Chain A
Amino acid sequence: MPLVIYTAFAFIPFAATLVLSLYDWDGLTSPSFIGLSNFADLARDAVFRNALGNNFSFTIFYSFIPITLALFLAALIADSARLRSVRIYRLLLFVPYVMPMVVLGVIWRWIYSPLSGPVNAVITATGRDPFPILGDTTTALPAIGLVGTWVMYGFAMILFIAGIQKIDTALYDAARVDGANRLKRFRFVTLPGLRNEITVALIVTLATALRVFDLVFVMTRGGPARSTDVVAFYIFRTAFNNREVGLGAAAAAVLVGIIFVASLVILRFRTSES
């Protein structure tokens, strides 16, 4: 029974996506088999390449910044991470992660708004003109990316705090006896101890960055001038608005491929290091 549901509504659709990616189909009339043409079209399509590039840019904001930041903080507080009072912060840091992304999109769209938004309230208070944060091709992507950073740093910190608590305190004591300073203790005790957690944080945040959809849909619909367009939105538009189902399926297949490869590379890297 569990297997039947899983196969019917998860595995078969996945396989069907791969099959559909080989067809030219408008969802209504008869489909025709065109081999790998859809993938060739994607490779040539500047709109798709731009969307994919934006997803890669998002990995900086969703993955690298929050993980670096969280590691830095973990290094700072490693000594006292075991305190009971740390729990309350864990509780608070995690709140953005449990919120529906759509709600976060609505909040942040307002935060960036030139009308009554807090960021522009600060800008105009200094006597400058309001700035169209989500309407400017240079700032829209970082602005959405920062929301990703904001959601993910709490997640990464919690992961790392939990990780630190699992590290044998004797290791820290031994390091201290050896005269290791904070930096050295981080490098030789904390960092290796967090190997699992870093792997997980990388896989989760990268997959999220590559799949960004809700925030873009709610905040900018991919604009301005496609500067926040992403692959998931491209799939949505091609398959359902433009009725190029095969092309949309091919884009989905590429997305899955990239996520799989990225995950495998991270896992391989981890095993080779240990």
Chain B
Amino acid sequence: MRHAHRLSILLIALALAATACTSDSGDNDTDSGTAATATTAATATATTAATATTAATATTDGPATRFAGQTLLVWNKVAAAPAIDEVYAQLTTEFEDKWDVTVTTESKSFDDLKATVLLALGQSDGPDVAIVPQGRPDMGKAVEAGLLLDLTSFSEERGWPEAFGASTLTKTMFSADGVDFGTGNLYGLSPEVEFLGWFYNKDIFSDVGVQPPTTIEELDALLATLADAGEIPMNAGNVEGFPFLHTFMSTANADMSVSYVNDLIYGRNNVSFDTEATQTAAARLMNWADEGYFTPAFEGIAYGDSIGQFASGNGAIMQTGTWIIPDLDPETFGFFLTPAISGGIGPQPGATSEPFTVRVDTDVPDLAKEYIDWMMSERAAELLAGVGALTTRTVTAAGQSALAAEAQNAWGLITSSDQLGHYLDWASPTMFDTMVAESQRMIAGEITPDEFVKALDADYQAYLSGQ
């Protein structure tokens, strides 16, 4: 028994060492700490080596076939609609033809990616290009572990900051040690965007005789009018917890300044979650719940079910993300952004989709970067927009539906007025869990909106002090 125990420690040491992709696992020392530290050092060296290679090859601007015969392994994510998957496949084929290379794409669901991509990026046969979930817990961790290639100089070379807007890029930027978020080096980007907003049923709106609101007070009044007219004002389903949070985040963001939201998410300037904006937003939503504006029993309805309900004509408004556009009839439904108190728009929670990144130890760093640049190209944006995706690069596409065009214009407005806000659950690794649990307690009447906001701040301050 004791022997087996000792054996197991050895095995863990080996396993640890191997996970961290060391080449030297023959170390019989059971102290796994030393083995793994050595590995980190090795990875760091690899980073510099890779950077050196990049610098070297960047100058040799060879012919189109300088990559001829190379192969690229890409981990993409399964798209919201099959048509979008097909566009990626087509773009990949075009890329292969252009450079005479072979690209192997493996499509993963978001859950898969979240669970495995960081481990895969640490393996020598891992993907060259991979989608990594955004935010500190995943992308930040990957940067900290030295798994991702710095794309800053490449992005400047290719004009990404001008094309996509500075605030768009900050969401995939970290300091080289992974500690500071929203600043430093750029580690990836996605050609698609998703952001939160309000979808409305045009038929119901015209029956009742109402218009989309331009201020938050108008929104309150609108919901009351819809309720009086016997409609369900807000279609909702909140078993999973996040749908209600999205509504909270949208209304809270709209009352903050962009710099305040940035500070909140990037952990700068000792800001707090306990603000007028969050207090007002929480109280407003609870007021809506008390008035019965949400679908009856929405706490027990699953999010997917609620989309189905809305698409089939139940409920006047649904506050959620632009990813539901493919589920809605583009002629029946319209879209508006969260109005600010004084009219106009405040910050809107949103971001590019999970970004493409490059594995630091890839054998083909230039090809990998070229692949991402191709996905960010105008050609890619046109094809993606043509099948209903919203794109980081604002383009007009032939096949775009009325609803998608409306949302795409809204994205243009957000970036041009520099009002891109944040999903507030990015603020700490545990914030999502905390927000879900505390908001559900608030809905159940166990805590007040004030206590809800204070609970979020407690999570946030605990995280900041642990940093």
Contacts and interface: CB of A to CB of B under 8 A. Distances in A.
Interface of A: 7, 11-12, 15-16, 19-20, 25-33, 47, 109, 112-115, 120, 129-138, 220-221, 223-227, 237, 240-243
Nearest to B17: A30
Contact of A29 (B4, B36, B296): B36
Interface string B5-21: 10111011001100110
Contacts of B297: 114, 120, 129-132, 135
B300 A112 contact: yes
B320 to A, nearest CB: 17
Q: Interface majority SS on A: helix, strand, loop or mixed?
A: loop
B134 to A, nearest CB: 15
Contacts of A131: 297, 300
A73 B16 CA distance: 54
8 contacts: A26-B141, A28-B20, A47-B433, A109-B302, A135-B297, A135-B299, A242-B429, A243-B137
B301 A16 contact: no
Given A7-B4, A113-B305, A221-B241, 20 more contacts: A12-B7, A12-B8, A16-B11, A19-B9, A29-B20, A30-B33, A31-B33, A115-B309, A129-B297, A221-B240, A223-B239, A223-B240, A223-B241, A224-B238, A224-B239, A225-B436, A225-B439, A225-B440, A227-B440, A242-B137
Interface of B: 4-5, 7-9, 11-12, 15-16, 19-20, 32-33, 36-37, 39-40, 114-115, 118-119, 122, 137, 141, 144-145, 147, 238-241, 296-302, 305, 309, 429-430, 433, 436-441, 443-444, 446
Given A114-B301, A132-B300, A15 B239 contact: no
Q: Interface majority SS on B: helix, strand, loop or mixed?
A: helix
Minimum-distance CB pairs A-B, first 10: A132-B300, A135-B299, A135-B300, A30-B36, A225-B440, A114-B297, A224-B440, A132-B299, A15-B8, A132-B297
A137 B446 contact: yes
Among B32, B296, B297, B433, max chain A CB count under 10 A is at B297
Contacts of B5: 15
A227 B36 CA distance: 39
Contact of B39 (A26, A30, A112): A30
B300 A114 contact: yes
Given A29-B40, A225-B446, A135 B301 contact: yes
B300 A134 contact: yes
A28 B132 CA distance: 15
A113 B306 CA distance: 11
Contact of B298 (A133, A135, A137): A135
A12 B13 CA distance: 13
Contacts of A134: 239, 300
